Amino acid sequence: MESSLVQLSPHLYCFTDTCQVYVLVDGDHALLIDSGSGAVLDALREIGVQQVDWVLHTHHHRDQCMGTPSVQAAGARVAVPEYERHLFEQAELFWQTRRVFDNYNDRNTFFAIGEDLRVDALLEDYEVFHWRGYDFEVLPAKGHTLGSSTLVVRVDGRRVGFTGDLLCRDGKLYQLHAMEYAYGSMEGVLFTIQSIQALQKQNVATCYPSHGDVIEDVAGDIQRLENRLMDCVRLGRGMRVAGRDSIPEPVFLPQPKFVPLSRHLLWGGIWTCSNFYVVLSDSGKAMFVDYGHAFWPHMHMGPDHDGMETMRFVEHHLDELREDYGVTEFALVVPTHIHDDHTCGIPYLQRHHGTQCWALQEVGQVLADPAAWTSTPCTFPKPIRIDRWLADGERFQWEEYEFEIHFAPGQTEFHSIYAGQIDGRKVAFTGDNYFEAEVLEGGQIETRPYQTTVLRNSFQLSMHRRCAEVMRQVAPEMICPGHRDVLTCNKEKLDEYCDFIARKERVFSNLVSEPADHYIDLFWARLLPYVACIEPDAVQEYRLLLRNNQPRAVVYEARLRVPTGWSSTEKYQSLRLAAGARGELVFQATAPAKSDGRRRLLTAEILIDGVLQGNISEALVQVRPSGG
């Protein structure tokens, strides 16, 4: 990769790499702020540097530190933020123990390195790191990551800040998806507001971000970003769902019962973990719309979430169908989307009752092969057999009912909406896309619909536009959502829903640089399979799925970066994609002859039009012990 070393002031340089690497020079010695790919080492000779003494990292992401082992090998020591030490020193343990199925942790620790990195010092909050007369003040900079730090120091007579990915020039975020911490939350927005307000008080003349141009108008850009973040806060609905209304336990205990919505349509009730519905046929057969847990506590989303037993499914409601509604066959289940809280009961139905599963192609591909796709959150580990694959826009018949199904990439990319006439009403099963919330408008509390947003579930701006189009096309009278109450629907409600999507797109687009989707879309590159366990010396094939968010045709180049002991070609493969197009590259990796029994990180190194992006997309691999 062709790179340049730019002098910013007499003793400070910038090297453009996978991130901006800043070089502070004192004679023939240097200190680096982050290391990028490590290519900076070759450029240092140009400015007479013989020895790099230290690398100070602003945060743990691979684009910041993938080259640090090379710099260490040349004699440098490494200091890291104190709250991210484990993501450097114990990176292998992190990947070995990281939850991959039923995962509701959206923090972007998935961009951690794959092999342990020796740490020589900690950058402790509100302490000072000293080097050759330079005093680096360490400030907490929660936002882009939980443990990020800002380093404030006086260089060449000016007080400057090395801010990592806290903010970019013109008051923008580097990546919007980094704002998600807990599942579906935007806690990073709050943290970023706090961090930039703290930075404002430092009165720095210039900020040096990890990506993009130098920030000269520090106060102005901080104010612009704060205004944009507050626009996000004011969106309110869908940015974080606070939970359900309290329901007294005696209402549904000791035995929960169905809520009849009409003669042939039953609802599991608001007290179920996630709503499921049953369509009754006069033939005695039943069709399930999703089938998850009976109660919310089965989700174990609190302190016990890391236990392997957290998604243990317990059968429910089937006896009631037989005894009270005359059901003789649990014939069919059609999942609205991929998430475990809606699908964890389907393997039970298939195994014990011979239930068929029909699914939209985009949904079924994940359910059938969850190990390949578990880079997306909330995948259930047990594969689900798909008996019929449905296409976008297809009409399908089940018993006396006709349904239409549509691809509706909303709360997750892998989502459908389907609808049909049931007992004289057009009913839409909308999964986790469409909900209503109370908002304050003109001093009055009003209830308005919204489209849920979970960026970690894979998101491009066009996806929610499509959801708006689908809902207008379906035009239901009743909405059966995946959580909360059943809803009535009319043109006014659909107009409000579509308006929310349009307004959200404007806010999101204004928060990042152009092209917006490139900085919003977490999965513009995705490696499949995400999890693999193979035999010693075996060959594993990988597919790198790419989508071009640029407004022009670009050339992608990529190769695999494999763990120690593995092998793969060093040669790049290339693919030209038109604007908005998708494509894929196929690679092979060969496992070592012996297993160490540990899960390892494998990544795809990607260039766009010859510019190195870093080790962007990851997968996890393990060699099966002999005889295992």
Q: Could you give the dihedral angle defined by the CA atoms of residues 333, 335, 341 and 346, in that order, rounded to the nearest 10 degrees? A: 30
Q: Which of 111, 157, 129 has its CA nearest to residue 33?
A: 129
Instruction: Provide the token pair at 336.
Output: 């609205």
pLDDT tier for residue 249 given thresholds of 50, 70 and 90 = low
pTM, rounded to two decimals: 0.86
* pLDDT value of residue 182: 76
Instruction: In whole angstroms, give the CA distance from residue 322 to residue 316.
Output: 12
32, containing H or E segment = strand 29-33
pLDDT tier for residue 301 given thresholds of 50, 70 and 90 = low
CB-based contact 325:280 (threshold 8 Å): yes
- Give the tens place of pLDDT for each residue, 5-41: 999 999 999 999 999 999 999 999 999 999 999 999 9
Instruction: Provide the token pair at 212.
Output: 């993009």
Instruction: Give me the mean pLDDT over the 444-453 stretch.
Output: 92
Buried b or exposed e, range 465-495, using 16+ CB within 10 angstroms: ebbbebbeebebebbbbbbeebbebeeebbe
The answer, yes or no, to whether residue 307 has pLDDT greater than 90, is: no
The answer, yes or no, to whether residue 240 has pLDDT greater than 60, is: no
The answer, yes or no, to whether residue 100 has pLDDT greater than 60, is: yes
Instruction: Provide the token pair at 352.
Output: 């014990």
- Give the tens place of pLDDT for each residue, 190-204: 889 989 999 999 999
In the chain, DSSP finds a helix count (H) and a strand count (E) of 15, 35
Q: Which of 141, 149, 162, 92 has its CA nearest to residue 122?
A: 149
Instruction: Give me the mean pLDDT over the 212-221 stretch.
Output: 98
Question: How confident is the prediction for the chain on average, in pLDDT?
Answer: 93
- Give the tens place of pLDDT for each residue, 483-532: 999 999 999 999 999 999 999 999 999 999 999 999 999 999 999 999 99
* pLDDT value of residue 101: 85
487, containing H or E segment = strand 487-488
pLDDT tier for residue 308 given thresholds of 50, 70 and 90 = very low
Instruction: Give me the mean pLDDT over the 539-546 stretch.
Output: 98
Domains and CATH numbers, the chain: 5-230 (3.60.15.10), 249-511 (3.60.15.10), 524-623 (2.60.40.10)
pLDDT tier for residue 1 given thresholds of 50, 70 and 90 = very low
User: What is residue 14's three-state secondary structure?
Assistant: strand
CB-based contact 536:593 (threshold 8 Å): yes
- Give the tens place of pLDDT for each residue, 339-359: 999 999 999 999 999 999 999
Instruction: In whole angstroms, give the CA distance from residue 42 to residue 24.
Output: 16
Instruction: Give me the mean pLDDT over the 288-317 stretch.
Output: 73
Q: Could you give the dihedral angle defined by the CA atoms of residues 243, 244, 246 and 252, in that order, rounded to the nearest 10 degrees? A: -130
Instruction: Give me the mean pLDDT over the 608-618 stretch.
Output: 96
Q: Give the Å distances, CA to CA, from 509 to 133, 454, 460, 502, 520.
A: 43, 16, 11, 11, 9
* pLDDT value of residue 252: 64
Percentage of residues in the chain having pLDDT higher than 90: 82
* pLDDT value of residue 468: 98
* pLDDT value of residue 300: 65
Residue type, 29: H
